[in-house]
Amino acid sequence: MISGSYQMTGCDLTLVSIPERKSLLLKGTATHGIGLPMTEHRKLVALQDAAGCHSPQLFKGVAGDLIARKIPSFLRLDRMASSVAPLALCASAVAIRENSKAFGRVSMAVAVNVSRFESVTMAPPDPILGVSEAFKADTSDAKLNLGVGAYRTEELQPYVLNVVRKAENLMLERGENKEYLPIEGLAAFNKVTADLLFGANNTVIQEGKVATVQSLSGTGSLRLAAAFIQRYFLDAKVLISSPTWGNHKNIFNDARVPWSEYRYYDPRTVGLDFDGMLADIKAAPDGSFVLLHGCAHNPTGIDPTPEQWNKLADIIQDKNHIPFFDVAYQGFASGSLDTDAYSVRLFVERGLELLVAQSYSKNLGLYAERIGAINVVCSSSDAAARVKSQLKRLARPMYSNPPVHGARIVANVVGDATLFNEWKQEMELMAGRIKNVRQRLFDYLSQKDKSGKDWSFILKQIGMFSFTGLNKAQSEHMTNKWHVYMTKDGRISLAGLSLSKCEYLADAIIDSFHNVG
Ligand code: KET
Residue nearest ligand 1's atom 16 by CA: 149
Above pLDDT 90, what percent of the chain?
Answer: 74
Q: Which of 65, 280, 340, 362 is catalytic?
A: 362
Q: Give per-residue pLDDT as tens, 414-431.
A: 999 999 999 999 999 999
- Within this chain, do residues 140 and 272 fall inside the same structural domain, yes or no? no
- Give the range of the structural domain holding residue 148, as residue numbers without chain letter: 129-158+425-515
**Does the beta carbon of 326 sit less than 6 angstroms from any atom of ligand 1?**
yes
Least confident of 6-20, 118-132, 208-222: 6-20
Residue 97 domain-assigned (yes or no): yes
**Same domain? 382 vs 497:** no
CA distance 13 to 71: 12
CA geometry: angle at 331 spanning 326 and 337, to 5°?
95
pLDDT in tens, 18-31: 555 555 555 554 44
> Can you give 361-405 as a three-state secondary structure string?
CCCCCCHHHCEEEEEEECCCHHHHHHHHHHHHHHHHHHHCCCCCH
Q: Which of 151, 359, 494 to mutate to test the pocket of ligand 1 (most atoms within 8 A of CB)?
A: 359
118, part of any domain: no
299 lines ligand 1 (CB under 6 A): no
Question: Which of 146, 152, 219 to mutate to test ligand 1, by most ligand atoms within 8 A of the CB atom?
Answer: 219
CATH code at position 465: 3.90.1150.10
Number of structural domains found in the chain: 3
With a 6 Å cutoff on the Cβ, whether 244 touches ligand 1 is no
pTM over 0.85? The answer is no
Residue 286 designated active-site: no
What pLDDT does residue 63 have? 43
Q: Is the shortest distance between the CB of 296 and ligand 1 below 6 Å?
A: no
Residue 264 CA to ligand 1 center (angstroms) comes to 19
Query: Do residue 429 and residue 496 come from a single domain?
Result: yes
Q: Is residue 474 part of a domain?
A: yes
Asked if residue 136 belongs to a domain, the reply is: yes
The closest residue, in CA terms, to atom 6 on ligand 1 is 328
Confirm or reject: Cβ of 149 under 6 Å from ligand 1.
yes
- C-alpha pair distances (Å), 176 with each of 162, 388, 406: 20, 27, 13
Out of 78-87, 217-226, 328-337, 372-381, least confident range = 78-87
pLDDT reading at 364 higher than 80: yes
> Do 303 and 368 reside in the same domain of the chain?
yes
Q: How far apart are CA 465 and CA 462, in angstroms?
A: 7
Check pocket membership of 247 for ligand 1, CB cut-off 6 A: yes
DSSP H or E segment with residue 24:
strand 23-30
SS (H, E, C) 268-327: CCCEECHHHHHHHHHHCCCCCEEEEECCCCCCCCCCCCHHHHHHHHHHHHHCCCEEEEEE
Distance CA(124)–CA(211), nearest Å, equals: 37
**pLDDT score, position 20:** 59
Which of 87, 112, 137 terminates a domain? The answer is 112
Cβ neighbours for 98, distance < 8 A, ≥ 6 positions apart: none
Cα(125)–Cα(36) distance, integer angstroms: 31
Task: Check pocket membership of 224 for ligand 1, CB cut-off 6 A.
Answer: no
Q: What local confidence, expressed as pLDDT, does residue 7 receive? A: 52
**259 lies in some domain:** yes
Are residue 242 and residue 208 in the same domain, yes or no? Answer: yes
Q: Closest Cα to residue 429, out of 332, 303, 338?
A: 332
Q: Last residue of a domain, which of 415, 434, 458?
A: 415
Residue 482 annotated in active site: no
Same domain, 135 and 82: no
- Whether residue 344 sits in one domain with residue 445: no
**SS3 sequence, 179-224?**
CCCCCCCCHHHHHHHHHHHHCCCCHHHHCCCEEEEEEEHHHHHHHH
Q: Which residue among the candidates 245, 259, 423, 482 is catalytic per the annotation?
A: 245
- Are residues 220 and 242 both part of a single domain? yes
Task: Evaluate whether residue 511 is within a structural domain.
Answer: yes
DSSP state of 267: T
Residue 312 Cα to ligand 1 midpoint, Å, equals 24
Is residue 103 predicted with pLDDT exceeding 50? no
Pair 369, 472 in one domain: no
Q: How far is the CA of 398 from the centre of ligand 1 (A)?
A: 20
Which domain-ending residue is among 415, 445, 473? Answer: 415
Around 191, how many Cα atoms within 13 Å sit in the side-chain half-sphere?
Answer: 11
* β-pair type (210-216, 371-377): antiparallel
Residue nearest to atom 13 of ligand 1 (CA): 361
Among 75-84, 118-127, 282-291, 360-369, the range scoring the smallest mean pLDDT is: 75-84
**What whole-number distance in Å separates Cα of residue 392 and Cα of residue 1?**
52
Strand partners, 266: 271
Q: What is the pLDDT of residue 142?
A: 93
Decide: 358 and 197 in contact? Cβ < 8 Å. yes
123 falls within a domain: no
Q: What is the CATH number of the domain that holds 330?
A: 3.40.640.10
| Pocket lining: 145 vs ligand 1, CB cutoff 6 Å | no
Residue 463: count other Cβ atoms within 10 Å of its Cβ.
29
Q: Are residues 289 and 237 in the same domain?
A: yes
Residue in 361, 485, 497 to alter for ligand 1 test, most ligand atoms within 8 A of Cβ: 361
Task: Kindly give the interhelix angle for 417-448 and 405-414, rounded to the nearest 10 degrees.
Answer: 100
How many angstroms is it from 5 CA to the middle of ligand 1?
55
Model confidence band, residue 114 (pLDDT cutoffs 50, 70, 90)? confident
**Are residues 367 and 445 both part of a single domain?**
no
- Name every residue whose Cβ is closer than 8 Å to that of residue 465 and which is 6 or more positions away in sequence: 149, 296, 298, 299, 300, 301, 491, 492, 493, 494
Residue 312 lies in a domain: yes
With a 6 Å cutoff on the Cβ, whether 372 touches ligand 1 is: yes
411 lines ligand 1 (CB under 6 A): no
Q: Give yes or no: residues 343 and 442 share one domain.
A: no
Q: How far is CA 396 from CA 5, 21, 208, 224, 402, in A?
A: 46, 44, 23, 11, 10
245 is catalytic: yes
CA of 461 to the centre of ligand 1 (A): 18
pLDDT higher than 60, residue 474: yes
Q: How many angstroms does the Cα of residue 503 sit away from the middle of ligand 1?
A: 27
Ligand 1 centroid to 57 CA: how many Å?
Answer: 37
133 or 34: which carries more pLDDT confidence? 133
**Adjacency order of strands within the sheet including 238-242:** 210-216, 371-377, 354-359, 322-327, 289-293, 238-242, 259-263
